[in-house]
Structure 1
Amino acid sequence: MRPTVSELCETYIENRDKIKSAFLWDSAYLYPICAAIFTNQRQSADINRMKACQEMLKAETGIFSNFRGTAKLAMISMLAVDSDPGSKLQKSLQVYDFLKDHFFASSYLPVASMIIADIAEAEQFEEIAARTRHIYNLMKQEHPFLTSSEDSVFAALLALSTLTDEQVVRETEMCYELLKAEFLSGNAVQSLSHVLALGTGSAEQKCRRTMELYRGLKEKGYRYGVSYELATLGVLALLPADLHSVMTDIMEVDDFLSAQKGYGILGLGRKQRLMHAGMLVSSDYIGQTDTLAMHSAAIGGTISLIVAQEAAMCAAIAASAAAASASSSSD
């Protein structure tokens, strides 16, 4: 394993274990995502800072707020890595209020709020919130039965891009048509198509790289998930790097994770593990200066990292909600 990747893996596991020990009753699906939030910033998880952010979140939001819902631990982590968590929370709440004018409340809306607050200027918040809804509406026109609350996150990412709304929809649809026969899962393919729409190059090139990556891993015995995990595969396919090198890194990281506690027989499944491996590999490539220089304005390094993180977060929120629902049904 390359030294930079190895270092990221070690930091990631340390962060995950620290967070899990301190927030014992949260979802097992969210610990890896929160660990990755710190690891992406090359930070060690600061538990005292996380608990201070937790108290701040309680003070600034109501008990039924979605900031304190399924994704709460991720919200706390996103605040804790920021140099000014108080300001970040206030900006995120401001964006959230604008988004609530256009969307029903959901566990995904705070995630979209933090993305916009991270990247946009305050004077742009209202306009971007409205654009997020417009892009979401265009998504729903194309796929009324596939588009749901988690797509608000992808709509927010697309609203922050340099593409026009019409370009967004056209590019997404071209990717969707090229990919649907390969992966069959309509909802996951739609999310993957949103990610690929952010990348440069033709739809054919981007989709071909995605399918080559998926098939290459499958041939080696590493079958990438085709449900909520699929969107993170798009980020890996967009990396300006040799696909063979990317595949090798993913397999090596997956092998490392398979030996770690929490990823064994009784832990998270192989598809989640492979997604986490992909998330770490993308973090390593995006963190390299020469790689960043190769990215165009359409999908810069920062956006690439956020896309990978938020796609994995959406998968974790969905898995957590499904597990909670299954648990309540069996009670």
Structure 2
Amino acid sequence: MLNRKLDLMILNSEKIENVDGTFAMGMFKKSNALTLTMKNAEINVSNVNNARNIIKDKTSLISNFRSYNLLTTAVNLSLFDNPNEAFDEILDIYNKLKKQFFQSAYLVLVAHYLYTNKHKLPIDESIIKTKEAYDRMKTNHYFLTSSDDVMASAMIATNSNNLEKTFEEIEECYKILNNNGYFKGNNLQALSNILCFAEGTPKEKCNKVILFDKELRNINMPLKGYALPILGIAILVTDDYKELALAIKETDDELKKHKGFGSMSLGYATRCMISASITCSTYLENTSEVNNTFTETTKNAVINIIIAMQIAASAAAAGAAAGASSS
């Protein structure tokens, strides 16, 4: 199954080049190819281009739905039976989010996430709960928490039954990992947030992260920097960390043979995140013990971490942060 998913990632990466308006969007194209691959979907270029036109018809040139988000939103819409209706709802959610948060490109991602998870919570309730989660995060890490953390807040809000307890566990994980040599900062905060989806005590979860990290370092493939949160995803899928580390390495070795996945064109850290995401997704699909709800939560976590990271990295590299004007 891993080879099949890897082949699908490569195919989607090749075919996404045919989508309109994607010149000089390398990291974003890989991000969206990964999103499709995680859902076992092959890109339909015609549907994506149709979705692009829907977005352009309904938003202004300075909208946060344009620029890099145009491709991401179009790819997501292409998977719906009625993209026109879906986008109207997503746009409505986005406008509601703007009343609670500062405008940013990340709110587009949050709007889509809340739309696809509306079966868990009514939209208005999920927005209120997302704001509560964000405020708790801001209280705990005032200088670290910013617009890129609204997505994590939304994920926590839609999956936590007790925000107070959840954030106590997140903070405990943050402290334990910091005491074990992991530097304080945004990446450690993101990793700690992901760990709230795992079972066990904070100490048990952190010990798993440390063990898996050691296995990766033993084969000279550390997940660090903005790839650090993937350590939290990986421990959700298996207890055999050595086998998982070797599987990720095997995936990475194969992936870098293909055009557009080399260290020069894509970057080592980004490719490692893609390799780990593909491998973990395959493990999830092969693990009968994991129930459907937990599997979907984990997949969403992987997908949204990758997308958010690549949007931030690409926007910074291009010097083209999304405009703050309204749609």
The 5 Å alignment of 1:97-176 reads 97-121=95-119, 124-176=122-174
Determine which of 306, 313, 317 is the counterpart of 1:312: 306
* In 2, Cα distance between equivalents of 1:223 and 1:191: 17
**Aligned pair in 2 of structure 1 residues 6, 203: CA closer, same or farther (>3 Å)?**
same
Q: Does 1:322 align with 2:316?
A: yes
In the TM superposition, what is the alpha-carbon distance from 1:46 to its structure 2 partner?
0.6
What do the CA deviations read for 1:231-286 (whole angstroms, capped 9, x no partner)? 22211122144222211211110111121112224211111111110110122122
**Aligned pair in 2 of structure 1 residues 272, 131: CA closer, same or farther (>3 Å)?**
same
* In 2, Cα distance between equivalents of 1:232 and 1:75: 23
* In 1, Cα distance between equivalents of 2:263 and 2:242: 28
Instruction: Tell me the residue number matched to 2:196.
Output: 197
**Aligned pair in 2 of structure 1 residues 221, 77: CA closer, same or farther (>3 Å)?**
same
**Aligned pair in 2 of structure 1 residues 278, 80: CA closer, same or farther (>3 Å)?**
same
* In 1, Cα distance between equivalents of 2:101 and 2:67: 17
Instruction: Tell me the residue number matched to 2:253.
Output: 255
Give percent identity, aligned residues only.
Answer: 26
In the TM superposition, what is the alpha-carbon distance from 1:156 to its structure 2 partner?
0.3
In the TM superposition, what is the alpha-carbon distance from 1:51 to its structure 2 partner?
0.1
Instruction: Tell me the residue number matched to 1:12.
Output: 9
Instruction: Tell me the residue number matched to 2:325.
Output: none
> 8 Å contact 2:191–2:230 — kept in the other structure?
yes
* In 2, Cα distance between equivalents of 1:290 and 1:178: 31
Instruction: Tell me the residue number matched to 2:49.
Output: 51
Secondary structure in structure 1 of the residue aligned to 2:143:
coil
Q: Which amino acid aligns with 2:32?
A: C
**Aligned pair in 2 of structure 1 residues 326, 317: CA closer, same or farther (>3 Å)?**
closer
In the TM superposition, what is the alpha-carbon distance from 1:110 to its structure 2 partner?
0.8
Instruction: Tell me the residue number matched to 2:77.
Output: 79
What do the CA deviations read for 1:119-172 (whole angstroms, capped 9, x no partner)? 114981111101111110111111111001110000000010133120221111
Normalized against structure 2, the TM-score is what? 0.92
The number of residues matched between the two structures is: 319
Q: Which amino acid aligns with 1:81?
A: L
* In 2, Cα distance between equivalents of 1:239 and 1:289: 8
**Aligned pair in 2 of structure 1 residues 289, 60: CA closer, same or farther (>3 Å)?**
farther
Higher RCO (Cα < 8 Å, 6 or more apart) = 2
Instruction: Tell me the residue number matched to 2:288.
Output: 290
**Aligned pair in 2 of structure 1 residues 192, 123: CA closer, same or farther (>3 Å)?**
closer
Q: Which amino acid aligns with 2:205?
A: K
**Aligned pair in 2 of structure 1 residues 162, 326: CA closer, same or farther (>3 Å)?**
closer
Q: Which amino acid aligns with 2:15?
A: K
Secondary structure in structure 1 of the residue aligned to 2:122:
helix
Q: Which amino acid aligns with 2:310?
A: A
* In 1, Cα distance between equivalents of 2:126 and 2:55: 24
Give the RMSD, CA atoms, in angstroms.
1.9
What do the CA deviations read for 1:286-310 (whole angstroms, capped 9, x no partner)? 22361433x7x6xx11111010000
> 8 Å contact 1:82–1:88 — kept in the other structure?
yes
Instruction: Tell me the residue number matched to 2:58.
Output: 60
In the TM superposition, what is the alpha-carbon distance from 1:85 to its structure 2 partner?
2.1
The 5 Å alignment of 1:169-188 reads 169-181=167-179, 182-188=181-187
> 8 Å contact 1:12–1:36 — kept in the other structure?
yes
Determine which of 271, 284, 293 is the counterpart of 2:269: 271
* In 1, Cα distance between equivalents of 2:123 and 2:320: 37
What do the CA deviations read for 1:88-131 (whole angstroms, capped 9, x no partner)? 22221222122111001111111111111001149811111011
Instruction: Tell me the residue number matched to 2:324.
Output: none
Q: Which runs of 5+ in 2 are unaligned?
A: 322-327
* In 2, Cα distance between equivalents of 1:242 and 1:248: 10
What do the CA deviations read for 1:65-88 (whole angstroms, capped 9, x no partner)? 212133221111111122332232
* In 2, Cα distance between equivalents of 1:203 and 1:13: 37
> 8 Å contact 1:98–1:125 — kept in the other structure?
no
Instruction: Tell me the residue number matched to 1:208.
Output: 207
Q: Which runs of 5+ in 1 are unaligned?
A: none
